[in-house]
Amino acid sequence: MAICFSKIVTEMKASELTPILALTARPDIISFAGGLPAEETFPLQELKETALQVMEENGKEALQYGLAAGDKELRGAIADRMNGLYGHFGMRTLAADDMMIVTGSQQGLDIIGRIFLDKGDVVLVEKPSYLGAIGAFDFEGANYVEVPMDKEGMIPDELEKILQTTERVKFIYVIPNFQNPTGICWSKERREKIMEIVSRYEIPVVEDNPYGELRMEGEALPPLLSMDPKHLVIHSGSFSKVLAPGMRLAWVVANEKILSKMTLVKSATDLHTSSLIQREAAMYMKKYNLSAHIKENCKLYKHRRDVMLDALKTNLPEYIQWTHPEGGLFLWITLPADWDARELLMMAIDKKVAFVPGDCFFPVSGKRNYFRLNFSYNNDERIKEGIRRLGETIKTYAETKK
Ligand SMILES: Cc1ncc(COP(=O)(O)O)c(C=O)c1O
């Protein structure tokens, strides 16, 4: 009998993430490719004590099946925390039942794709956007329209033009805080304008927010969720970048109708997220100060960002441009228009440094003269040496373009 895969899987390209993550594991390569948090930030001792305490106090429940929507205590703790962070921006008061727990926000994106999309439906995305979200929506046969951005975020007039002329738009997917890949943070005015348009067109918005709390400077800004009288925002938060990605723990806030559909799919996917890890996260939040932990992480990330910015200034020619993110994990490099970051990456790997070429963040235009650098993972020495190698690579590549 011949092995015969589904049409969608047969037609699908291998994920861009897989070879990238494989590169980060090669010790001779200084990789700025993966979106990895610094391992120094993982609260090893605290999580060890938490795990022990959960086993001693609630071991049987923690090892039992749980609710598809997730552990109620954890959801309550996340709701309280979000109320504390965003209540003063006017966000509606959240309770445990306003959200569900997912196995990483990647699973949330997958489930969102499944409840909204039929083959050929359209998702509006920032230009550029997160390649993992594109990968998830690809499974449902999504088409994309890229909405142009500038340094303040998505451009409202462009969004409106696209909404007026595009059929089958099911939702808009955005990362307003320290976007992956660019590091851009939408201004308050942009958030308000985009939400005014969204409310008028009554179109759901997926607000993916894994980096919102990783602000190193400047004032916190209101999430789209706090500007949402019609409850159109599906807000995704994650423990990955503020605690540890290996926990695979995240949450999605949405209106009741959307959550009930999502829970249906969640049950069919994995029944529920690990009871054990949910209990541990809830216990961690009770025993320790997550906000203080994040504040410490931000100090380290600010330092590493500055080391990278300095190194870029020293090593890259002045005609190369880059973003100066106030938070998150990434900065975004713009090369001359006729350069190809994939070609550059091949040369960079020879020089033992790696990044993510930009084309995979543009599902339609596939623009090739950009790339993404992660500044959170490597220590100072590796950042300096890696950017020195990158500078050499760029100079060599520039010679081939003359
Ligand atoms: C914008 C964005 N969304 C979602 C994810 C996935 O995160 P998680 O570890 O919560 O699945 C990432 C990971 O890098 C991301 O950058």
Ligand 1 centroid–CA 386 distance in Å is: 24
pLDDT in tens, 209-228: 999 999 999 999 999 999 99
Q: Computed over its alpha carbons, how large is the radius of gyration of the chain?
A: 21
Q: How far is CA 362 from the centre of its chain?
A: 15
Q: Can you give the pLDDT at residue 9?
A: 84
Ligand 1 centroid–CA 180 distance in Å is: 9
Q: Is 239 in the pocket of ligand 1 (CB under 6 A)?
A: no
Q: Is 102 in the pocket of ligand 1 (CB under 6 A)?
A: no
Pair 89, 226: CB distance under 8 Å: yes
pLDDT in tens, 350-369: 999 999 999 999 999 989 99
pLDDT in tens, 59-118: 999 999 999 999 999 999 999 999 999 999 999 999 999 999 999 999 999 999 999 999
Which residues are within 8 A (CB) of 385 and not within 5 positions of it... i.e. 6 or more apart? 30
pLDDT at 236 over 70: yes
Q: Is 129 in the pocket of ligand 1 (CB under 6 A)?
A: no
Ligand 1 centroid–CA 106 distance in Å is: 6
Q: Is 130 in the pocket of ligand 1 (CB under 6 A)?
A: yes
Q: Can you give the pLDDT at residue 240?
A: 98
State the pLDDT confidence band at 7, using cuts at 50, 70 and 90. Answer: confident
245 upstream amide cis, omega within 30 of 0 = no
DSSP-derived 3-state class of residue 362? coil
Ligand 1 centroid–CA 105 distance in Å is: 6
State the pLDDT confidence band at 12, using cuts at 50, 70 and 90. Answer: confident
pLDDT at 24 over 70: no
Q: Ligand 1, closest atom to CA 240?
A: 9
Ligand 1, atom 16, lies closest to the CA of: 180
User: Which alpha helices (DSSP H) does 238-355 contain, by range?
Assistant: 256-270, 275-287, 290-315, 341-350
With vertex at residue 258, the alpha carbon angle to CA 283 and CA 147, rounded to the nearest 5 degrees, is 100
Q: Ligand 1, closest atom to CA 249?
A: 10
CB-hemisphere CA count at 13 Å for 121?
Answer: 16
- In this prediction the pTM is 0.96
* Residue 257: both structure tokens together: 């109708």
Q: For a pocket test of ligand 1, which of 36, 102, 106 has the largest count of ligand atoms closer than 8 A to its C-beta? A: 106
Q: Is 82 in the pocket of ligand 1 (CB under 6 A)?
A: no
Q: Is 24 in the pocket of ligand 1 (CB under 6 A)?
A: no
